[in-house]
């Protein structure tokens, strides 16, 4: 079996302080997690005026100095939120500040409420994905070429200088998140890794990998050379009684803004540690060798410790 890596997802939109994120990162590093990922959002819901939401890339820059071993990345950075040349410059800078520990997780963007609130155009999905292609063409040229020029359908650069270059060569790994067919075609062109989230069923995951393999073959890409990552939102306890207690406690918070938001999100992976282990093995049988774990807000350290103690040794 291929070596398995495990990362942790943090959603600043849930209300984290930076001190809270740093504490989780320090524990993840102590426990031997491979990576820490931060979502790219500006607020939870339009009504969440009291809920803090730290910005993704400034948070990653801070974490790059407060950690020593963790690989860091956005899962995923929205290509729409920053000029693509600026985004490429930011990636190069954070890769340098972190000592070459950055993964460039990127996607087409989806959260319409944020676009409207921040004054960003919100074109149809196919346009946003074509923009993603332009953004990645620009980034790769800026990271590799001494002076970069690119004339795209949506974005262009002219004789751009990007110095210093990223530490990682030829550039930081590009992780593309998303399962739509058009996104998978872009991933077949540019990605070093793909992530399908959150908690997509094993049959659906298998079908998407088969679709992605076809796009890779059509482009002459080595499908096996592109990492496959699963994002799993986990509710877990050591045994059935402890799990039932946790679920009952969670019901008491059903009317909170956070829980109402999650009610519209994909279903959790709910189970005992043995059940979670069995499910992860089903993903690894498909060729998945990287998992990004997302625990409920406030349960990250508890979840990581239980995972490390009871699940990881069985894999």
Domain range annotation of the chain: 5-314
Q: Looking at the domain that runs over 5-314, which CATH code has it been given?
A: 3.20.20.30
Nearest of 177, 186, 176, 195 to residue 216 by alpha carbon: 186
Are the C-beta atoms of residues 152 and 142 closer than 8 Å to each other? no
Condensed to tens digits (0 to 9), the pLDDT of residues 75-126 reads 999 999 999 999 999 999 999 999 999 999 999 999 999 999 999 999 999 9
pTM of this structure: 0.95
How confident is the model over 177-229, as pLDDT tens digits? 999 999 999 999 999 999 999 999 999 999 999 999 999 999 999 999 999 99
What span, in angstroms and rounded, lies between the C-alpha atoms of 119 and 193?
31
């Amino acid at each position: 079996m291929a070596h398995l890596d495990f990362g942790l997802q943090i959603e600043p939109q849930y209300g984290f302080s930076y001190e809270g994120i740093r504490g989780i990162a320090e524990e993840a590093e102590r426990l031997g997690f491979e990576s820490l990922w931060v979502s790219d959002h500006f607020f939870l819901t339009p009504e969440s005026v009291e809920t803090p939401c730290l910005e993704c890339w400034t948070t990653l820059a801070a974490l790059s100095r407060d950690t020593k071993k963790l690989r860091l990345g956005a899962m995923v950075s929205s290509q729409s939120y920053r000029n693509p040349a600026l985004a490429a410059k930011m990636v190069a800078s954070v890769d340098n500040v972190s000592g070459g520990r950055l993964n460039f997780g990127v996607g087409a963007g989806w959260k319409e409420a944020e676009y409207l609130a921040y004054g960003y155009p919100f074109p149809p999905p196919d346009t946003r994905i074509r923009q993603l292609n332009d953004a990645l063409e620009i980034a790769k040229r800026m990271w590799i070429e001494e002076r970069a020029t690119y004339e795209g359908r949506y974005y262009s650069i002219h004789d751009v200088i990007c110095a210093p270059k990223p530490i990682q060569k030829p550039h930081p790994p590009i992780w593309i998140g998303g399962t739509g067919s058009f996104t998978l075609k872009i991933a077949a062109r540019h990605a070093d890794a793909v992530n399908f989230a959150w908690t997509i069923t094993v049959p659906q995951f298998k079908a998407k990998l088969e679709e992605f393999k076809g796009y890779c073959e059509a482009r002459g890409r080595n499908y096996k050379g592109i990492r496959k990552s699963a994002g799993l939102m986990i509710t877990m306890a050591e045994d059935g009684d402890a799990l039932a207690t946790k679920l009952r406690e969670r019901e008491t918070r059903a009317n909170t803004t956070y829980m109402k938001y999650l009610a519209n999100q994909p279903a959790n992976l709910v189970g005992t540690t043995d059940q979670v282990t069995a499910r992860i093995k089903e993903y690894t049988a498909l060729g998945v060798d990287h998992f990004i774990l997302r625990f409920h807000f406030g349960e990250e350290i508890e979840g990581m410790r239980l995972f490390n103690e009871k699940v990881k040794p069985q894999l």
